[in-house]
Amino acid sequence: MDRLSDEERVALERLTEALEDLGETFEEAVSTYASLDPRGQELEGEARLDAQGLIERIAERWRQAELTGATDPRVADDPQAQQILLLLGAFEDSLILALAGDPRHRHLVLSPDEAIERMEELAALSDLDEGFVQPRAAKAPKPAEALTRRLDVLDDLLNRAMGEASGFFLDLKRDGELDEHAARERMEELAVCLRTFDVDGLAAAFAERLYVAPTLALLRTMLHAIVMRLSEDPDRRAQAIPLSELGGRIAPVVEEWKAAGV
């Protein structure tokens, strides 16, 4: 193997550190989410503050990892790392929806049973308790007609979330002022879209229309951009992705959509 250049070595070290930080964030998220149990109880008082704090810490550390490329689905292709990111995102989206309090989205909030099931799947992926912990059974395949209808619903959800969020950031770039009400609406809408894709587990089936992983990664970036801009912590607000960088991330995804005819 060729020796790494100094620049490549530094980049690899940063990537490794970012993944370790995400791992620590994940461990914290598991513990905090279990104690909050947003599916089983209302988040009020200290619980509400704890939930908001966890959402912001996930957004902050995910952003730091994103800067190294550690969250890029085309780079970070390790199955265990991807499952950690998916579950970390599920915690985040569920807490956002629980805090929003819209009863229409209550079913999307991750239940303790589902969290445990997915933790067991992660243990199986890492060969922990091998022979005792088994991966989740695959969901029964939908009939072709039912699958098509569900993919149509996801298509509409994805287009709406992408369009509304892009418009929000265009307005923010033009006006320079954050509309907090619109920001919270977009944050909830993005959480609904991301969590719905996670619940359905149909990203692979959607691939015939569009390789959706880069789009979902972009929606996560948009979500974090809003979370961090709404933070009361000035240091977190300062770490939010610059609008020029976000625009650069949106452009190639839009080109992929055009090429796929979506």
Reply yes or no on whether the pLDDT at 165 is more than 50: yes
Is 184 within the bounds of a domain? yes
Which of 80, 98, 125 lies at the terminal end of a domain, its last residue?
A: 125
Q: Are residues 154 and 183 both part of a single domain? A: yes
**pLDDT tens digits, residue range 171-218?**
999 999 999 999 999 999 999 999 999 998 888 888 888 889 899 999
Give residue 192's region: left, alpha or beta (phi > 0; psi -120 to 50): alpha
Is 168 within the bounds of a domain? yes
Is 42 within the bounds of a domain? yes
pLDDT of residue 76: 55
Q: Are residues 90 and 164 both part of a single domain? A: no
Which domain covers residue 201, as residue numbers?
144-260
pLDDT of residue 73: 73
Residue 132's pLDDT band, with cuts at 50, 70 and 90, is very low
Decide which of 170 and 1 is more confident.
170
Is 132 within the bounds of a domain? no
Which of 125, 154, 171 lies at the terminal end of a domain, its last residue?
A: 125
Q: Are residues 101 and 74 both part of a single domain? A: yes
Q: Are residues 110 and 152 both part of a single domain? A: no
Residue 120's pLDDT band, with cuts at 50, 70 and 90, is confident
- Lowest-confidence pick of 50-59, 115-124, 159-168: 115-124
> Side-chain half-sphere of 81: how many Cα atoms within 13 Å?
19
Decide which of 258 and 246 is more confident.
246
